[in-house]
Structures are given as C-alpha cells and as structure tokens.
Structure 1
Amino acid sequence: MEKQQRKGLHKKLTITLLITALLASLTAACSGNNTAKTNVVSETGDYNKEGLPIVDEPLTLKVLTVRWGSMGDTFTQNQWLKDLEKNTNVKIEWEVMSSNDWSERKAIMLASGTIPDVIIGNQSFGDSDIVNNLSYFRPLDDYIEQYMPNLKAAMEETPEMKKISTFPDGEIYSLPARLPSRPKSSRQPVINKTWLDKLDLEVPDTVDDLYNVLTAFKEQDPNGNGKQDEIPYIETGNDIISPFGIADLNNNYMVLKDGKAVFYPVSNQYKEALKWVNKLYTEGLIDKELFTQDDTMRTAKFQSPDAPIVGFSYQWTPDAVFGKWSDQYVTIPPIAGPDGNRYTIGNPMGMNLARNELLITTSCKYPEIAARWADQFYTNEASIQNFWGAVGTVIQKNDNRTYTLMDPPAGTSADAWYWEQSLRDFGPKYVSPSFEKNIVLNPKNGDGLKLQLDKLGSEFATTPFPNVMYTAEEFQELPTLTTDIDSYVNTMRAKFVILGEIDKEWDDYVKQLNDMGLEKLTKIRTDAYSRYTNVK
C-alpha cells in the first residue's frame, strides 16, 4: 500500500512538474523576448493548425496600419476582409493612422513599448525601426515554416521575396509582398500634345529636341490666353536627370554601374546633368519654384482652373494629375540623353516587390494565430482583392476563371477608387506570375493604363541600387553621415541649378563631401549591397 501511495505521489509530482514547465514555456514565448520561437497555444478556445476556422471561439487581434494623408479607413469594409473575420473567427480591431501624424505617434509607441499585435504596411515601421527595436518584433522564420504554407510556397516560386525580407542577422522579422500587374518603369515623360499640335511641333526625342520644344512653349503662348503664364517644365523628382544615365529609384543617391554601387552626386554624369538643368532654369524653361513648392502648390499648377499652364512633366498617368485638362496630355517614350541612350527609372524585374508589409509583435499573445491569419492573404484571389477591391465590388469573377476590373464610379480616378476599397500597395499579398494572365485590366485607366504606357519605357528600365538592409551598427552611423552629406548635396544642387558656376566650384564640392565622410558612407552601402546579393 505504502509503495502504491509513493508511486501515486510520484506520478502526481511528475504531472505537476510537467504542467509547471509547460506554463513557464508559454509565458516565455509571450514575454516579449524576441528570441522566443516556440508556438503558443490559444487560451481562448481550441486552435486549429489547419483549415478554417483558425480558432473555434472568437479571438481579437489588434492591427495597426498607416495610410497616406487623409485616406481614412474605408478599406476595412472590403468584403474579403469581412468574410475573413467570419471564416477564421479572428476578429480585427483596426487602428488606422494617418501618415501626417505617424512620426510622432511612432516615436511614443517605440519609447513606451506599447505596440499592437500586428503591424501592416511598409509605411508603419521601416528597416531602422525594426533593427533598432528587435525586442518588439518576432522572428518569423519558424512561423513561416510551420503555419504559413501559402507564403512558404510563394517564396519558393519567387525567391526574391525571401531575399528582400532577410535581415542582416539572417532572420525574417517582416513579411513581403508581390503586387500584381505592375509596370517595370516608374514615372514617364508626359507632354501637352494640344500645345505641340498648335505650334506644329514634333514630339521631342532627345534633350536638344526637348529644349527647343520648351522654348517654344515659353515664347509662343500655346494655351492661347494672351499671357506668358506657361510653365514649360515642372520637375517632380529625379526624372529630370534620368536622360544622363542617372536612374535613382530609391532616392538614396546610389546607382549601379557595371554591377558596382556608385554614389552618383560626384559623378561626371551628374555634373553634366546639373549644367543642363541650370540652362533650363536660367532661361525660364523650368518652374522657378522647383525647390520651394510642396505637392499642393504643384497640383494647383497642374489643374489651373482657367487654362492649362504646364507643358511637360514626368507622371504615372496623365489622368491622375491634370484634372479637366487630362485629355490634352500624352505619355511619350523616354528622352534620349547626350550619349544617345534612353534611361528609365524603374526595375527590369518589375516594380512589384516590397518588404515590411506585416510584422507580428512580441506583444501578441497568439503569434501562431496571427501567422495563420496573415497567411490567408497570400493566395492569388485574396491578394487581388487586397490590391484593388473585393470580388463583386471592384472585381468581376468570370466563368472562364478570369478576373475583370470594373470601371471606377463617375467623378473619381481608378487609382483613388482602388485605395478607397483596398489595402492597395500596403500589406501582405502574393500574386503568382502565372496567375497574372487571368487578370483583365482596362487599358484606358488605372493599372491597365500604366501597363499600356509601360510599353513605351519598360525596355529602358535601369537596374536600380536595391533597397538593401543595414545592420544596427550601420544604422547608428548612417544618420550622422547622411544628415550632413544629403543636406549638402541638396543645398549645392539648388545652388548649381540657380547660380551655375558648376565647373568653377565642382572640385571644392567633391572635397567637402569627402571631408564629411563620403568614403565611409559608400563603404556602408556597398557592404550592404554585397550582403544582399549573397542571400540564398
């Protein structure tokens, strides 16, 4: 009897120790330690590792996303998202922030450590936010392996998705996206064709042709209002220097030349480009406010109420910019530079890959549930509904397994409608290259028009310096270097364009950049590029 009692006591003690150990492991997994990769079992009901629902009893996740300006939260009414809540039993408490207020709010959030369960969209937290606060974000490699078959398959089909998502320590902290039906080129040259026809001018082909056309736009009153109010050229970015072989997609002053990373603001091509822009500025052929105006001021010029006043610019599509004057504008092939070649800012691989589209934080008590929920976004049909809008609202699903985008309501552009109805550019998604042939786009507006216009420039898209990852140590050094160097480059660019004297001051300009640590900055970026190219 005593032996049996001892055996029973030993058995109870063993069970108690096992339960204690299990509870301890569960607590550690949700404690905020970023190294914890064990999977947490839901305490709110039965959790299903496969199939739907994900949980038998409803569970709520807090999800934060950041939207441009005043876009609001209408996308949360996307029928696919509503059906997802119903089918998974995972309820979403959305926190939708405006990009206008996000910088201050983000700083407070990171300082306090009070962060929602899931973060969606690459406008929320960037590389440096993540690398410098790894204790807030879970490594997701094990979750992808065990709970995300859709994403795992996508990464196998498109290995670049894993490549862009792998941080310098070899871990994946944020999930990627592959957007559907994206062009290879970015903004392309747009010109007022009505003005060309009125002045009996041909579409410009070279920078010399463009100079002659801009001069005519300035001097010959092409809008016919009797005023010299025409702005021949409005610059909207680095496109103005792209004919000189400078195609800076990521706006970090880096380009690839012969497979090597180059800081182009000290290159001869950049020097010659500045001389070209100075010539346009001095002769009144480019907007005098190019260094002082904001987007609101620029938009007012594009949509001048009484008469069109803009002759030439670079845009995605004219219909999204020029308002009631849109019909006067056409997209034209890239302008040939002094070397006779054409260069387009873009990516020959396509403008469709992004990272930091979803993070699961260490505040999340149920990361395996969040991972399974996120994986639902990585099917073709889910992804097109989170890029354009729901089937039945924005997309028509046809009997032949194709998907047709409907035309936007009267009075709005296709782009504006898509942003209203979906997560659009932001958030996790994957559309297989083979599935894209099933998507039917209207070639006259929105993304269909972008693909049509892309035919003019896609063959000239230049491989960009990629959006590389930096280590925590590099992120500590970068701000000190870039604050001074970027500011000086911008200041001198404005000075060179407005005042000229580029040849006279060039050597001193380059020396000053070197004194500011340009060699160190270039090494950091080339080291990051080397790591990027070596990810398997």
Structure 2
Amino acid sequence: MNKMKKSGALLLSAAMSVALLAGCGSSGNDEAKGANGSGSGTADNVAKEGFPIVKEPLTLTLTAPDVGIQNWDNMKVLQEMEKLTGIHLKIQNAPKESFETKKNLIFASGNYPDIFYAAGLTTAEQMNYGGQGILVPLENLIDSYAPNFKKILDENPDIRKSITAPDGHIYALPVIEFNQPWYRNPMWYNGDFLKALHVTKLPETTEELYTYLKRVKDEDPNGNGKKDEIPLSSSPSNGNSLRDIRTWLLGAFGIYEEEIYVDDNDKVHYTPMEEGYKDYLTYMNRLWNDDLLDHESFSQTAEQKKAKAQNNQVALFSDWNAYMTKGGEPSMDDPMFLPVKSDKVDKPAIAMNKGITPGAFAISKTNPSPEASMRWVDYIYSYEGAMLFNKGPEGVLWKYTDKSTLTKEYLPVPGGGDREEYRATITPNYGIPAPTISLPEIQKGLLGDFDEWVANETQTKLIDNGARIPFPTLFLTPDEQTEVTTMSADLNTYVRQMEAKFITGNEPLANWDKYLDTVKKMGGDRMAEIYQTAYDRWKKS
C-alpha cells in the first residue's frame, strides 16, 4: 500500500472511530447542567456524609480499560457500590491493550464520559485537558466531598505536591501504594542452583556476582551433564530490553534509575550520560562476552524466558515472585537478589517505589454531578472501600475472624480454581491502575508464611540497605513537557539502541566519548536542566 492510500485509510478509520464514540459521551447532560443545574445530578441531591450518596438515583458514564475476564456489570464489587451509593454506572470499556487509542479518540471526539477510571492520565494529559477545561479541577471537591482523601493529603503533603499541576489545580486522583516498596519486580536466585553449588552467602559485590554466574556456567548445577545453564536472563518489557534487570544492576554503580534521578545533594542527573552508566555497560559487556548474560535477552519473549527457567536452566531472573517464572508452588528456597556494589561506590543505589501512580480517576466537564462522583471515589480511599475493591465483599473470598481488630481469613474459592483469577471476576481493580490506597490493615490475617518471608526479604535486602525514591512524581509546565516530549522520542530510541550495541560489542566502549557527544547534541544536558528546574519547583511548593 502506498503512503497516500495508507494515510487515507488511517484518516477514514479515525473518523469512523470518532463517529462511533459519539454514543459514548456523558449520560445525556451538557456542560450547562453541571453541578449547578437542576435534577438528580445537582449538589442538592448529594449527601455530604453517609449512604446512599444521592437522594434520587443517578446514572453516570465511566470509561476504563478492561483485562477481558469479566463484564463489569456483573462484578459483585460494582453491584455492591450501586446498592450502597444509589449511583448506577454505565460502563464503557475498551481492551487494556488498545485503551490508549480509545482514550485519545475520546478526547478528540468531544464526547466525554462522566468519569475516567484507571485511565492512566499522564501529567502531560492532565495539564493539557485540564487546561482546556475538559477535566474538572478537583481541589474544592476534595475539600467538601472527600474526607478520606483529604485526610491522606493532610497527612502526606508530598502527595498533594505530586498531584498538583503548575497552575495550582488537581485534575486527577492517584493510586497510592506506600506499603509496596518495589520499584520494579525484584530479581530472584534459583535456590536449586545455590544448593547444588553449596552457596550459603549471596554475592555482595559485582565481582562476587560474576564469580557465582561463572560457576553456574561451568559447574553443571542442574546436574544434567550438559552446559545448558543460563546464568542471567532477561526479556524486553514493552520493547525495552533489559528493563527487568537494568535497575538492579545499574545500582551497583551508584545509579538509581535508567533515565532521571536526583542524588543526595538534590542534583538531578540524566543517567545515560553518567560515568556510572558507562561502568554498568562495561560490566554487562563482560557478562555478555563470557556468555553469562543470555544472548537472547534482547529478543526473547517473557514466555520464552520462563520456558528456560522451567527447564531448570536459569540461575538469576526477574519476576513478581520466583515461582511465577520457575513454575510450581511458592517457595522460600529461591532468595531475593541482594543488591551488589562495585568497587566504585560505598553502597549500592536501591530504587524504591514512588508510592504514587498519577491519573487514576478524573471527572469530565460534562459530568452532571462532580460532587456525587467525588464522594463515590472517596469511599475507595477509606479502609472499608479499599478492602471492598481489593478483596471483594465479605463472605465471598474472605471473612472477618475478629472485626474489632480487622483480622480476617480466606474462604475457599467458589467452585475451586485460582484465587486471583476469581478475584478478577468480582472487582475492577485487577491489572489496571485503578484508584485505591493500599493499607497494611487490608492484609491483616491474610498473609501466609510465604508472604511474611517475601516481606522480610524486602525489608532486609532493600529497605534496610537504604532504598529510596529516585525521583518524585511531579508535573512539568506545558512548555517543559513539550520540549521533553520532542527530545525523548529520538533520544530514548538512540540510548536503548546504543545500550544493546555496547553490551553486545557491536559498538566498542572505546567510542563512549562519541556516544556522549551525540547524546548531548540530542538534548541529554537539557533533559537534566528541565528536570532540575521541575524538581526545585516541586521541592519549594
């Protein structure tokens, strides 16, 4: 197909999609009705406390990504919320994989849902559509109709700073997960290999790690008589090769994050230009040359990597838990990776989860009752609401054993089967960035021995070793965002391509200075300057 025909087809497809979305707008309410109009959507219809939220039934449209397991209308959690609040939701889903496209088409169409739920609204999108008046500013609604969320902001000023745009408005509520410290999935050792090689003390330095990986390659820890062991394996994540292990190995050279981080002296760094990043590339090239890094790491799928692990070939890998890659049942025999350090630093840099994912809940200008919508979502930021959306209604998958202490126990999965798969059929908060707060009380009584072990591994190997947030969640100004977006497209592609070339030896590290000059010309220094300005502004706000 020639370029002209292809462009015409794309334009026709976009036009048809916009036309189809014309039926996906608000629930028959124009902007003039808003919060001051008449009828069931007005503020007079909304109770400021207690349930139901509205005195007369109210229908709101909600757009969200869908993981494709259950029709949201049949989810017990949303059915319970309708009974509790008096608000009926008209759900407009799109598959998770294509939701970004749907979201863009919605904003282009001018026909907006009343609520954006788990829409992953970036800070740039919030600034753009908030500035255009499409997204409603939420700060006054929070003060008047969201006591649970307001309490969170009052107790955690950094959250307010991180979700407030440069124009002073809050356009979206976040996911808050302070009790999940992992920046990315941890790396895990294959415990069978450790046992076979009589390793009782995990590597603490890059040299000790190299020695261990070399032993895996040479000493047949899987015992099959073949040299088929793979010391370290990775697979591209969203096209980003090595992302699942990069953060942990960068840390050995004092680097907290793969793009932007701030050091202990409040200086912002652009990682791909740092000397520590060059040291990381040098070490990874050494692993590659000695066949200790899987040579399919830049091309294989996650499933292919798992197949190797389940064939008992892989010594070190990344996943949410080790058994999810190795297969079988959860095991305390596969220890979490202890971050190692090189001889260039005094301690490893360990990145910790920011605890905030922006853009989880927003209200459009055509919403007939922003007040009711805010009260609806505020319930999810309470213990009771977070419990409902996280675990489902009491009596389905869990029950209280002592409600006074919030102690619970799991119930058998109805009909048998996997607990998480069943949970996905009863709550929308599965596999998407949905608004919530993760509280330790939710898990009280529900954590088994394996969960306690993982928590201890996390505490002793990450948190106690000085894990910290590399860079806060913050907004750029529209001009800053435009400049960063323009630079990032080509810069990120170049940096990732050169990472692969340096590691595989297709580009000798002797050409580092040439690479550095190219990165500078493409805007590397400017990236650090922009984020330094934004960080200074955030810190003072």
Equivalent position amino acid for 1:136 in 2? I
CA deviations on 1:376-417 (whole Å, 9 max, x unpaired) are 222112113323333323343232322335278599776656
* Alignment match of 1:101 (pick from 98, 103, 111): 98
Which residue matches 2:485? 479
CA deviations on 1:166-205 (whole Å, 9 max, x unpaired) are 0111100001232364236643331112112212234322
- Bigger mean CA offset, 401-410 vs 87-96: 401-410
What is the CA–CA distance in structure 2 between the aligned matches of 1:465 and 1:430, rounded to whole Å?
A: 21
Contact 2:35 / 2:371 at 8 angstroms: preserved in 1?
A: no
Q: Secondary structure at the match of 1:56?
A: coil
CA deviations on 1:290-346 (whole Å, 9 max, x unpaired) are 22223333333333xxx3111012333213332128646222432233234233221
2:314 pairs with 1:316 = no
**Cα distance change on mapping 1:41 and 1:148 into 2, 3 Å:** farther
Equivalent position amino acid for 2:136 in 1? R
* Alignment match of 1:402 (pick from 406, 424, 429): 406
**Cα distance change on mapping 1:412 and 1:445 into 2, 3 Å:** farther
* Alignment match of 1:336 (pick from 341, 344, 351): 341
Which residue matches 1:470? 476
* Alignment match of 2:127 (pick from 118, 126, 131): 131
What is the CA–CA distance in structure 2 between the aligned matches of 1:415 and 1:119, rounded to whole Å?
A: 25
Deviation at 1:156, TM superposition (A): 1.3
2:81 pairs with 1:84 = yes
Deviation at 1:419, TM superposition (A): 4.9
What is the CA–CA distance in structure 1 between the aligned matches of 2:184 and 2:101, rounded to whole Å?
A: 30
Which residue matches 1:218? 217
Deviation at 1:508, TM superposition (A): 0.9
Equivalent position amino acid for 2:96 in 1? S
Contact 1:40 / 1:368 at 8 angstroms: preserved in 2?
A: no
What is the CA–CA distance in structure 1 between the aligned matches of 2:233 and 2:422, rounded to whole Å?
A: 26
Contact 1:231 / 1:285 at 8 angstroms: preserved in 2?
A: yes
Deviation at 1:436, TM superposition (A): 3.6
What is the CA–CA distance in structure 2 between the aligned matches of 1:225 and 1:265, rounded to whole Å?
A: 41
Matches within 5 A, 1:451-530: 451-455=455-459, 456-460=461-465, 461-499=467-505, 502-530=508-536
What is the CA–CA distance in structure 2 between the aligned matches of 1:158 and 1:255, rounded to whole Å?
A: 20
RMSD: 2.9
**Cα distance change on mapping 1:352 and 1:44 into 2, 3 Å:** closer
What is the CA–CA distance in structure 2 between the aligned matches of 1:430 and 1:449, rounded to whole Å?
A: 23
Deviation at 1:41, TM superposition (A): 4.8
- Bigger mean CA offset, 403-412 vs 506-515: 403-412
Which residue matches 1:13? none
Matches within 5 A, 1:110-259: 110-121=107-118, 123=120, 125-134=121-130, 135-179=133-177, 181-183=179-181, 186-202=184-200, 203-235=202-234, 236-238=244-246, 239-248=248-257, 251-259=258-266
Q: Secondary structure at the match of 1:525?
A: helix
What is the CA–CA distance in structure 2 between the aligned matches of 1:421 and 1:264, rounded to whole Å?
A: 42
**Cα distance change on mapping 1:93 and 1:55 into 2, 3 Å:** same
Equivalent position amino acid for 2:251 in 1? S
Equivalent position amino acid for 2:538 in 1? Y
Q: State percent identity of aligned pairs.
A: 26
Contact 2:270 / 2:525 at 8 angstroms: preserved in 1?
A: no
CA deviations on 1:346-403 (whole Å, 9 max, x unpaired) are 14xxx53332111001121222221221222221121133233333233432323223
**Is the radius of gyration larger for structure 1 or structure 2?**
1
2:383 pairs with 1:376 = no
**Cα distance change on mapping 1:359 and 1:290 into 2, 3 Å:** same
**Cα distance change on mapping 1:150 and 1:340 into 2, 3 Å:** closer
Equivalent position amino acid for 2:110 in 1? G
Deviation at 1:60, TM superposition (A): 1.3
Contact 1:66 / 1:98 at 8 angstroms: preserved in 2?
A: yes
What is the CA–CA distance in structure 1 between the aligned matches of 2:220 and 2:322, rounded to whole Å?
A: 22
Q: Secondary structure at the match of 1:396?
A: strand
Deviation at 1:286, TM superposition (A): 0.6
Q: Scaled by the length of structure 2, what TM-score is found?
A: 0.82
**Cα distance change on mapping 1:237 and 1:331 into 2, 3 Å:** closer
What is the CA–CA distance in structure 1 between the aligned matches of 2:375 and 2:329, rounded to whole Å?
A: 48
Q: Secondary structure at the match of 1:523?
A: helix
Which residue matches 1:24? none
**Structure 2 unaligned runs (5+)?**
1-28, 235-243
Q: Scaled by the length of structure 1, what TM-score is found?
A: 0.83
- Bigger mean CA offset, 405-414 vs 462-471: 405-414
- Bigger mean CA offset, 268-277 vs 126-135: 126-135
Q: Secondary structure at the match of 1:404?
A: strand
**Structure 1 unaligned runs (5+)?**
1-29
**Cα distance change on mapping 1:164 and 1:335 into 2, 3 Å:** same
What is the CA–CA distance in structure 2 between the aligned matches of 1:522 and 1:189, rounded to whole Å?
A: 29
2:355 pairs with 1:355 = no
Deviation at 1:534, TM superposition (A): 2.0
Equivalent position amino acid for 1:309 in 2? Q
Q: Secondary structure at the match of 1:363?
A: coil
Q: Secondary structure at the match of 1:273?
A: helix
Deviation at 1:226, TM superposition (A): 2.9
- Bigger mean CA offset, 393-402 vs 267-276: 393-402
Which residue matches 1:439? 444
Equivalent position amino acid for 2:522 in 1? M
Equivalent position amino acid for 1:324 in 2? G
CA deviations on 1:88-131 (whole Å, 9 max, x unpaired) are 110112233322112322222121122211111253x2222222
CA deviations on 1:2-47 (whole Å, 9 max, x unpaired) are xxxxxxxxxxxxxxxxxxxxxxxxxxxx7559xx996555446971
Contact 1:395 / 1:403 at 8 angstroms: preserved in 2?
A: no
What is the CA–CA distance in structure 1 between the aligned matches of 2:93 and 2:385, rounded to whole Å?
A: 21
**Cα distance change on mapping 1:277 and 1:428 into 2, 3 Å:** same
What is the CA–CA distance in structure 2 between the aligned matches of 1:261 and 1:412, rounded to whole Å?
A: 48
* Alignment match of 2:393 (pick from 390, 403, 422): 390
Equivalent position amino acid for 1:166 in 2? T
Number of residue equivalences: 490
